[in-house]
Chains A and B, each alone.
Chain A
Amino acid sequence: MEVYLSDDEKLFLIAGIEDNIRNDGRTCADFRQVVLEQGVLTGTNGSCRVQLGHTTDVLAGIKLELESFDKDSEKNTPPPFKFFVDFSANASSQFAGKGGDEYAEELSAALTTAYSNSYDILGNLKKVQLADGYRWKIYVDVTVLQWNGSVIDAISLGVIGALHNLSIPEVEISPDDGGKVSIVLKRPRTGGNVRDEEVPVDTWKLDVSRCPLLVTVSKIGTGNVIDCTPEEETCIRSQLWVGLTPISNNDFEVTCVKQVGSGLLEIESVNEMISLSSGAVKGLHSALLHRLKTEEYRKPGHSFLL
């Protein structure tokens, strides 16, 4: 869906943002309503779907893979995450063919940057290192089903939701011949003659309370705006992606800042935009954690597919 606006419509929109009244009644710092659902894909180890303002729709799924590595050649353990973003051609005709590839790569690079010091952010991530030479590799795949502005915000929410939903199996490690180890999934012991395969595997979860959120702040006219609609995106002068991660209860740390698109920014307005985004992230983060804690499991069929 390509959006054209006439000059007068743009003028109207820009003047509105300078007046702090957007075309949908929000103020510049407001987010649209976020709909978040966990565990929507049964074939994954963890999944989440996020909808922003009834249209932007993002699906995130996580698969785990046991990976062996050479412990001697690797000095610093790299983060176990591998991000991949894909734009569905259904989301917007501009993504048809290879149209979305470049943008998708940029998005996955931004996610990798934001999660680069993930061992500090996720408290119990060390546990994915199973034994000498073995670890879980976490593949985070995101697909954008519908595009209606501020897709990176929705993706970062979806990734956190999927990480929260992720259940990593517990394993038993026992030494094996030749200095190697054997890794067996751990199942709780049960009485009776229940077959081993039917007992669910023990799992553990990641602590996501300090995961980074990415938000887009856009400069439209003289105003700074959060969570743009496609109409507003046509009027953008310059845009920043800001990644923020909570360090204590009410304090946030910037983990990545990236300017996208054309346009120049004064250093003062960069600071303004970052402070605006940190205010937004504060509100969004507490709302997100609340939702993650209180979400109740819905019967499939009463889920997003309907």
Chain B
Amino acid sequence: MSYEVSGPPLVSPWMMLSMSEARTDLDDAKIVIPGHSVSDAPQHFMRGHGTYIREGEIVSTVSGAVNQLNRLLMVKPIKQRYSGEVGDVVVGRVVEVQAKRWKVDVNSRLHSNLPLGSVLLPGGDFRRKDVEDEEKMSEFLKNGELICAEVQQVQHDGTLMIHTRNNKYGKLRQGILIKVPPHLIKKSKVHFHTLPYGMAIIIGCNGCVWVTPALPETFEEEQHVQISDYQKVSQEVRLAMVRVAACVRLLKDYSISIYLNSLTTCYEMSQPYEIKELYEQETSSRLAYLIAAKLLHEIQENQ
């Protein structure tokens, strides 16, 4: 049992980040807020995303960093909802069962569509998706259930079409979901990781990180039976999962990007502390500072 009543932190996360040298490569002059002028020579540049022309000036509509690609000027917003790219791995929650499709909340502006034809139904490939399947849709995926899917198509209004036509995608069972801002997720070739601590993690590109005892594909045999048996998670696995979840939250609080390397670094460095200590201001800020320094050092060495 521990009880602690303390004052507000002396150093806020963003102050701490500016002390660590991780953000020095970003030029302050390139950061704009809505209404800021990006360039006063529109004849030389083309306006891109996040900008508009006002009285002969290119002006930003969002707050973010200015990017230049040849003659195209655009502003990349720092914080935004998940916009979606084809091929992204996302983790989302089913919010509605409709005729022939599920509506899925993937932290985007609009709910995504998961058509009945885009899922692997029990029974395998080359199956007709008939009326019977339509009637059993809510048996297969209910409201509130979590799924892992891939973005198949981005429609012009921003709606995402997703599919789970692979054994590694599909319904997620036991685990912990942590939501982080999508810009913290670093894109990589692999978003499914089985960690050497006896558990696995799915880092969804939409900012949903799923910590689970095992990846969906490892219990693919169970998928044939619709109602899989509940298996209790052992204590060691649970402790590892809870620690990884705490690591993800720590990285989120201090705006450190989340990918396999930062996560394992955080996990290893958090070992001397108890899990609940990772939520305490003093421990977490010190740890975050060390992690940021170490990751930065690694990046510099690789270059």
User: Which residues does A use to contact B, with CB under 8 Å?
Assistant: 4-9, 11-12, 15-16, 19, 21-27, 29-37, 51, 53-54, 157, 279-280, 283-284, 286-288, 290-291, 295, 298, 303-304, 306
Known: A19-B238, A283-B1. A30 touches B6 (CB 8 A): no
The residues of A that contact B12 with a CB separation of less than 8 Å are 306
Size category of the B interface is: 35 or more
State whether B4 touches A11 (Cβ < 8 A). Answer: no
> How far apart sit A21 and B249, CA to CA, in the bound complex (Å)?
17
Known: A19-B238, A24-B245, A25-B243. A35 touches B6 (CB 8 A): yes
Known: A25-B246, A26-B276, A33-B6. A16 touches B238 (CB 8 A): yes
**Stretch of B55-63, B162-170, B171-179, B260-268 contacting A (4+ beta carbons < 8 Å):** B171-179
The winner among A16, A283, A284 for most chain B CB atoms within 10 A is A16
State whether B6 touches A24 (Cβ < 8 A). Answer: no
State whether B275 touches A37 (Cβ < 8 A). Answer: no
Report if B8 contacts A (CB, 8 A): yes
The winner among B8, B242, B275, B276 for most chain A CB atoms within 10 A is B8
Q: Which residue on B lies nearest to A50, using beta carbons?
A: B5
Give 27 CB contacts A-B under 8 Å: A4-B143, A6-B93, A6-B172, A7-B142, A7-B144, A7-B145, A8-B172, A8-B174, A9-B146, A9-B176, A9-B177, A11-B174, A12-B176, A21-B242, A23-B245, A24-B249, A34-B5, A35-B6, A35-B8, A36-B6, A51-B8, A157-B5, A283-B2, A283-B3, A284-B3, A298-B7, A303-B8
CB distance from B47 to the nearest CB of A (A): 35
Report if B65 contacts A (CB, 8 A): no
State whether A290 touches B5 (Cβ < 8 A). Answer: yes
Per-position contact with A for B82-109: 1 when CB-CB < 8 Å, else 0?
Answer: 0000000000010000000000000000
State whether A31 touches B279 (Cβ < 8 A). Answer: no
State whether B5 touches A5 (Cβ < 8 A). Answer: no
The winner among A25, A53, A298 for most chain B CB atoms within 10 A is A25
Count how many pairs of residues, one from A and one from B, have CB atoms less than 8 Å apart in the complex.
118
The winner among A27, A33, A34 for most chain B CB atoms within 10 A is A33
**Besides A24-B275, A30-B276, 7 other CB < 8 A contacts?**
A6-B93, A9-B177, A15-B232, A30-B2, A31-B3, A33-B281, A35-B9
Q: Which residue on B lies nearest to A290, using beta carbons?
A: B5
The winner among A4, A12, A16 for most chain B CB atoms within 10 A is A12
> How far apart sit A37 and B5, CA to CA, in the bound complex (Å)?
10
Q: Which residue on A lies nearest to B280, using beta carbons?
A: A33
State whether A30 touches B281 (Cβ < 8 A). Answer: no
The residues of B that contact A306 with a CB separation of less than 8 Å are 12
The residues of A that contact B145 with a CB separation of less than 8 Å are 6-8
Report if B239 contacts A (CB, 8 A): yes
Known: A25-B279, A35-B8, A36-B7. A30 touches B1 (CB 8 A): yes
Q: Which residue on B lies nearest to A291, using beta carbons?
A: B5
> How far apart sit A146 and B182, CA to CA, in the bound complex (Å)?
22
CB distance from B153 to the nearest CB of A (A): 26
CB distance from B75 to the nearest CB of A (A): 27
State whether A23 touches B146 (Cβ < 8 A). Answer: no
Report if B235 contacts A (CB, 8 A): yes
> How far apart sit A22 and B2, CA to CA, in the bound complex (Å)?
14
> How far apart sit A286 and B5, CA to CA, in the bound complex (Å)?
9
> How far apart sit A283 and B1, CA to CA, in the bound complex (Å)?
8
Q: Which residue on B lies nearest to A284, using beta carbons?
A: B3
State whether B6 touches A34 (Cβ < 8 A). Answer: yes
The residues of B that contact A290 with a CB separation of less than 8 Å are 5
Report if B274 contacts A (CB, 8 A): yes
The residues of B that contact A36 with a CB separation of less than 8 Å are 5-7
State whether A24 touches B276 (Cβ < 8 A). Answer: yes
Chain B, 237-255, CB within 8 A of any chain A CB: 238-239, 242-243, 245-246, 249, 253
The residues of A that contact B253 with a CB separation of less than 8 Å are 54
Q: Which residue on B lies nearest to A36, using beta carbons?
A: B5
Report if B126 contacts A (CB, 8 A): no
Per-position contact with A for B117-150: 1 when CB-CB < 8 Å, else 0?
Answer: 0000000000000000000000000111110000
Report if B233 contacts A (CB, 8 A): yes
Known: A291-B6, A303-B8. A32 touches B279 (CB 8 A): yes
> How far apart sit A287 and B235, CA to CA, in the bound complex (Å)?
31
Known: A21-B242, A24-B276. A6 touches B5 (CB 8 A): no
> How far apart sit A281 and B253, CA to CA, in the bound complex (Å)?
29
> How far apart sit A4 and B105, CA to CA, in the bound complex (Å)?
11
The residues of A that contact B175 with a CB separation of less than 8 Å are 8-9, 12
The residues of A that contact B239 with a CB separation of less than 8 Å are 21
CB distance from A273 to the nearest CB of B (A): 15
The residues of B that contact A35 with a CB separation of less than 8 Å are 5-9
> How far apart sit A22 and B274, CA to CA, in the bound complex (Å)?
13
State whether B144 touches A21 (Cβ < 8 A). Answer: no
Chain B, 203-239, CB within 8 A of any chain A CB: 230, 232-233, 235, 238-239
> How far apart sit A26 and B274, CA to CA, in the bound complex (Å)?
9
Report if B202 contacts A (CB, 8 A): no
Report if B278 contacts A (CB, 8 A): yes
The residues of A that contact B278 with a CB separation of less than 8 Å are 25
